[in-house]
Every structure is written in C-alpha cells, then in structure tokens.
Amino acid sequence: MMLLKRPGCLIVIARQKTHMFSIRRFLGHDEKFFDLLEASAEQADSSVHHLVALLVRLEQHESPESLENFVRSRRKDKEITQELTEQLCKTFITPLEREDIQALAAALYKIPKTVEKIGERIVIFPGELHGRSFKKHLELLDQAAETVLAMVKELRKGTDVATAREKNARLQTIEGDADKLELELLRDLFHGDYDTKQIIFLRDLYELLEKVIDRCRDAGNIILQVVLKYS
C-alpha cells in the first residue's frame, strides 16, 4: 500500500518490468534458429530414410522409385539453410555464435545433398544392385542420422558435455565401422569377378555411402565443439 503513495517508486518498477519484457521478447526470437536447425536435421534424417527404403527395394528385386523424394528433401534443406543465413543478417543477438550456426547448417545440408547423389547413381544402373544386401549399410546410415538429429534437438535445452561426448563418440564408432565395411567391399570388388563397368559403379557407390556417414560425423563434431564452448 505504501508504494501507491510513492509514484516515483511505481515509475521505477514499471520501467523495470517493461525493460525485462522487451529483453525477453527480443531473446525469444532466438528460438527460430533452433527451429531451423532442427528442421534441417529432420530433412537430413528423412533423406537417409528415403535411401534406406530405396536400398531395401533393390534387395527385394523391385524397381527403384523416382528421385522426387530425394530432390524434395535436398531442396527443402537448402531453403532452410538460406533462411538461416537471412535470419543471421537480420538478428543482432543469436543463441549461438554466428559462425557455429553457419557451420552446422552447412554440415547438415551436405547430408541430403550427398544422399541425392547416391539416388542418382542407383537410378542410372539399378539392375546391378538387385538382390545385393545392404543390411550393414542400412543399420549404420540409420544410426548416424538419428544420432545427429538427437544431438541437434538437445542444443535447444542446453545439453551437457557428457551427453554430447557420448553421442559424438557413437558417431565416431559408426564412422569407423563404415570405413571397415567399405574396405571389405572394395577388397571383394577388386579381387572378385567383376567387369570394369561394375567396378567403377560399385566403387563410387560404396564411397558415397560412406561419405554420408562422414557428413553425419562432421555435424556431430561441430555440435560437440559448440557444447564445449558454452559449457
């Protein structure tokens, strides 16, 4: 009640409340960066799921579908990356350093971009892959994409260093397993009974499949660096 008799104090309190509200409203826009990064990671994960579905179809001697799903994911991710760049130009305060946001966005975009290249190769020469087993590839690809998506989503709530290290270590293990798998396949390829065309086609495909997992590892490394920086 005493405050009502002292308008000067009321003015000070009112100004403080207004100040706090404006700051919260300004910082509230930071959520859009997390929204966009998560959307980009979801497109990357979606593109890998499209690739998994395509490889499963080939194992079952089914004809591959069109590249529309791959193209859509890559284009959507490119739009998200462009929007992130625009928002960085418009926003004065960001939840993470601008360089980190740009680096992570670029790393995430490379995942669907590489996946689309694999789809293009497969559509060119699908008959060579009919009946081939890609079980190990499918497991590694799915694990890598899901791990990256989880790491990106945890950025919003402020993941702890231990969790980020654990998930990044998982990506490193997946990438190491993918390297070993590629070497095994290349060894069989160069020592097996394949013609030149088959060797070139399968070698490029194996390298691209491994590269997708490399892209996921790169994104994980960036996320871990961000977490360490803000810990």
Give, for all 231 residues of the chain, the pLDDT tens digit.
434 444 444 434 344 433 332 333 334 446 899 999 999 999 999 999 998 888 888 877 777 666 788 888 888 999 999 998 898 888 888 888 899 999 999 999 999 999 999 988 888 877 777 777 888 998 999 999 999 999 999 998 887 899 999 999 999 999 999 999 999 999 998 998 888 888 899 999 999 999 999 999 999 999 999 999 887
DSSP H helical segments within 29-134, as ranges? 31-59, 68-90, 98-124
Report all structural domains of the chain as residue ranges with CATH numbers, in order of start. 30-229 (1.20.58.220)
Distance between CA atoms of 225 and 231, rounded to whole angstroms? 10
Q: What is the pLDDT of residues 133-144, one digit of tens each?
A: 888 998 999 999
Spell 73-85 as b/e; 16+ CB within 10 A means b. Answer: bbebbeebbebbe
The tens digit of pLDDT for each residue in 15-45 reads: 443 333 233 333 444 689 999 999 999 999 9
Its pTM stands at: 0.81
